[in-house]
Amino acid sequence: MMNKKTFDSYSEELQKLKDLLFSEDTSKIITGIQNISPLELHIFAANYNWNSGFEIPEAILGNRNCDFGTGLLLFYRADGYRVLESKDAVSGSSLSDWKKFISNLFDKIVAGDFSNKMISFTPPLTKVQAFQLRKSNPGIPGMFFDKSPGDDVEIPVL
């Protein structure tokens, strides 16, 4: 695992990730991310353009190399904050793809369905936000507020 290292020596791998990220062929992207490392999957997820829909994030979550930190990253990038604010935000949403994705991801995180915990992710919450969420929804598991286990990784922009 990389511990706050630079990616200069990984330029070839990063170029492959960039080529996948900017491909317009969804099936090529899904095939391309099937056998990449947890770190590469995390970098890919961090750079994913959510305007492209949920099919690719679902494939990332379905990858056996998907790390717990990557799952949390996807949760927050998919506007998981709304789920933590209120369960009604999910049930009341007209966005069926988002509802399905965020509900499944929430359940997967709570159930501990990630075999890898090598990449750390710190939820993007201020102390005030975390306090307010805990106060209004005391049943939210701490894993949504706390830094996840693993190594800190500097995410390059692809």
Rounded Cα gap, residues 131 and 113, in angstroms: 26
Render pLDDT for 137-148 as a digit per residue (tens, 0 to 9).
Answer: 999 999 999 999
Residue 52 gets which letter from DSSP? Answer: G
- Mean pLDDT across the chain, nearest whole number? 90
Quick one: pLDDT at residue 93?
A: 78
Taking the whole predicted model, whether its pTM rises above 0.75 is answered as yes
Render pLDDT for 24-46 as a digit per residue (tens, 0 to 9).
Answer: 999 999 999 998 999 999 999 99
Helical spans, DSSP H, in the chain:
11-21, 26-32, 38-47, 55-62, 68-77, 81-85, 88-91, 96-111, 127-136
